[in-house]
Amino acid sequence: MPEFKIQHITKYTYPSAVRDSANQIILFPIRDEYQDVIRQEMNITGDPVIDTYTDYYGNEVGSFTYSEPHTSLIISSRLVVNTHHKPLPGNDIFPSQQWDDLKRLRYMVPYIDFLKQEYFEGFSELMELVQAEKSKDDTPYQVALRFCRYVYDNFKYIKGVTTVETTLDEIWKLKAGVCQDFAHILTLMLRLVHIPARYVSGYICTNRSTAMRGEGATHAWAEAYIPDYGWLGIDPTNNCIANDTHIRLAVGRNFSDCSPVKGVYKGASEHLLEVAVSVGEDDTLHHPETTEAPEFKPVNEAARNSYHRYMEMIQQQQQQQQQ
120-138 as b/e: b if 16+ CB within 10 A:
eebbeebeebbeeebeeeb
310 inside domain: no
- DSSP line for 242-254: --TTEEEEEEESS
Q: Establish if 317 belongs to a structural domain.
A: no
Say if residues 240 and 152 touch (Cβ distance below 8 Å).
Answer: no
- pLDDT of res. 208: 57
AA letter at 192: L
CATH number at residue 272: 2.60.40.2250
pLDDT at 296: 59
Q: Is residue 196 part of a domain?
A: yes
Report the SS3 class of residue 5: strand
pLDDT at res. 283: 43
Q: Which of 75, 101, 90 is nearest to 23 (CA)?
A: 75
* Residues 236 and 102 placed together within one structural domain of the fold: yes
Q: What pLDDT score was predicted for residue 118?
A: 80
Same domain, 245 and 117: yes
Q: How far apart are CA 178 and CA 171, in angstroms?
A: 10
218 shares a domain with 72: no
Rounded distance between C-alpha atoms, residue 210 and residue 256, angstroms:
30
pLDDT in the model for residue 297:
60
Q: According to the model, what pLDDT value does residue 176 have?
A: 94
State the Cα–Cα distance between residues 216 and 43, nearest whole angstrom. Answer: 20
* Same domain (yes/no): 144, 235: yes
Query: In this structure, are 177 and 292 located in the same domain?
Result: no
Q: Which residues contact 14 (CB under 8 A, 6 or more apart)?
A: 70, 71, 72, 267, 268, 270, 271, 272
What is the predicted pLDDT for the residue at 276? 92
Distance CA 304, CA 308 (A): 7
Question: Could you tell me how far CA 128 lies from the centroid of its own chain?
Answer: 26
Tell me how far CA of residue 245 lies from CA of 112, 204, 260, in angstroms. Answer: 29, 6, 19
Residue pair 262/10 in contact by the 8 Å Cβ criterion: no
Residue 183: closest CA among 161, 168, 205: 168
- Alpha-carbon span 154 to 176, nearest angstrom: 8
In this structure, the answer to whether residues 244 and 266 fall within a common structural domain is no
314 part of a folded domain: no
249 and 289 both lie in a single domain: no
- Both 14 and 108 in a single domain? no
What is the distance between the alpha carbons of residues 79 and 157, in angstroms, rounded to a whole number? 28
Which structural domain range is residue 79 located in?
3-83+258-305
Determine the pLDDT at residue 205.
Answer: 86
CATH number at 230 reads: 3.10.620.30
Q: Of 191, 226, 253, at which residue does a domain stop?
A: 253
**Domains in the chain, number:** 2
Q: Are residues 59 and 103 in the same domain?
A: no
**Half-sphere exposure of residue 22, counting CA atoms within 13 Å on the CB side?**
3
Residues 242 and 112 in one domain: yes
The pLDDT score that the predictor gives to residue 212 is 78
Cβ pair 82, 7 in contact under 8 A: no
Residues 139, 225, 203, CA angle at the centre, nearest 5°? 120
DSSP-derived letter for residue 59 is: -
Provide block-wise average pLDDT over 10 residues at a time, the chain (323 residues). 91 96 97 96 96 97 97 96 94 91 92 90 91 90 97 94 89 93 96 97 78 78 96 97 95 95 93 89 45 51 45 48 49
**51 and 29 assigned to the same domain:** yes
One domain for residues 245 and 291:
no
Q: Given the DSSP bridges, would you call strands 35-44 and 297-299 parallel, antiparallel or unpaired? A: unpaired
Pairing of strands 3-25, 60-66: antiparallel
